[in-house]
Amino acid sequence: MTKQQRGIFEKVLGSDVWWIRYTDCDGVYHREKVGSKSSATKAYHKRKTEAMEGTKLPSLRRRKTQFSDLADIAIDYIMAEYSRPADDVARVKVVKEWFKDRSADSITPAEIREKLKEAAAQKKWSASTANHHHNVISLCFRLGMEREKVKESPIHMKVRKQKENNNRVRFLSADEEKRLHEAIRSKPEWAEHEPELDLALHTGLRRQSMYIHLVWENVDLESRVAIIPITKNDDQVVVPLNDVAMRALSIFRARGDGRGRVVRNAAGKTLTVNAHWFIPAVPSVGITNFCWHDCRHTYASRLRQTGTPLGNIAELLGHKGLAMTKRYAHLSISNLHEAVSRISNSTTVAPEPNSETAANSFIN
């Protein structure tokens, strides 16, 4: 049996593709794919001679970094650094599929723009959703640059985000809410989810806060308060519970043992999504342009319509400032009229002009 020569090997046995391994003049370990065994033998002796003579090796061609490699790095980063990684991990997986089997440096700004545009049209993405996917592509390349996997990003400063309308306020009218409740009750597979709608409309909780972060350990039924320890803004939110919210909680309490996540179905299983009943229920009664997050808008809008100050609404919603909350300001304009009218009787004003004076002023 022929003894295997040191430094020469078949990476895949029987492939007849031979590799060499050696250290250069600086003691750095290398591996090279060569080809036939005889060629590998010659290459190995050449590299050993170069190492002894102190010759620097020519730069060897490196494997091009695939976009999928950058995506995997981004997923690991998100899982380690983000407090709520699930949504962004899902987005990275989407864009990873777009550019599968592509080297990262071959992707152009035009291709990224086209992919975002195409996906937004097919899946009816909002500007915000498209921009979230823009963000994760940018993250992939930024992390790749930090790790010296790629030299530049084809998206940063080259692919613009869509303009978002953050002032959109869509809320249910009383009639729409009545119709939606009737639709949910009309089907047994939907009816068990009615308490979820009630809780959302009367607490303003975001979907993930309600389904994932709301746990019985943080609900005080006696004080009628629920606490969400961490929200989208990384802050704690204290939610006061009105009669409708308390009734919804009593239903959920009967479905479990009073521990862990609050929101459960009739079988006692915890829930994380609601698309299977909410999305078909809404259009079934002619309600348009209404998504789950609009339950939060409905809660805030009704608070404002009853005269609740913007500062209180911001606190209830968990907003860090009033910038986002001001979208509801116009909903209480009647109260503002009342406020400004109070000062009209306590100030000195110019005398009202007679009709002749007023007419002459416009002519002149």
pLDDT on residue 227? 93
Is 190 within 8 Å of 281 (Cβ atoms)?
A: yes
- CA 306 centroid distance within chain: 32
CATH number attached to the domain at 67-146: 1.10.150
pLDDT in tens, 84-107: 788 899 999 999 999 998 999 999
Instruction: Give 267's pLDDT tier (boundaries 50, 70, 90).
Output: very high
pLDDT exceeding 70 applies to what percent of the chain?
Answer: 82
The pLDDT-based confidence of 358 (bands split at 50, 70, 90) is very low
Closest CA to 194 of 253, 252, 269: 252
Q: Compute CA 356 distance to the chain's CA centroid, rounded to the nearest angstrom.
A: 64
Q: How far apart are CA 65 and CA 106, in angstroms?
A: 10
Q: Which residues, 6 or more positions from 234, have their beta carbon under 8 angstroms from its beta carbon?
A: 83
Q: Which residues of 247-263 are buried (b: 16+ CB within 10 A; e: fewer)?
A: ebbebbeebbeeeebbb
pLDDT in tens, 297-355: 999 889 888 888 888 888 888 876 666 666 666 565 555 555 555 555 554 545 655 65
Query: What's the pLDDT score for residue 363?
Result: 46
Distance CA 84, CA 64 (A): 32
**What secondary structure letter does DSSP report for 264?**
B
The CATH architecture annotation of domain 174-335 reads Orthogonal Bundle (1.10)
Please write the tens of the pLDDT for every residue from 27-80.
Answer: 777 888 888 888 888 988 988 888 888 776 655 555 689 999 999 999 999 999
- The 3-state DSSP class for residue 331 equals helix
pLDDT tens, 98-143? 999 899 999 999 999 999 999 999 998 888 899 999 999 999 999 9
pLDDT attached to residue 62 = 57
User: Which phi-psi region, left, alpha or beta, contains residue 157 (left: φ > 0; alpha: ψ -120 to 50)?
Assistant: left
Contacts of 121 (CB under 8 A, 6+ apart): none
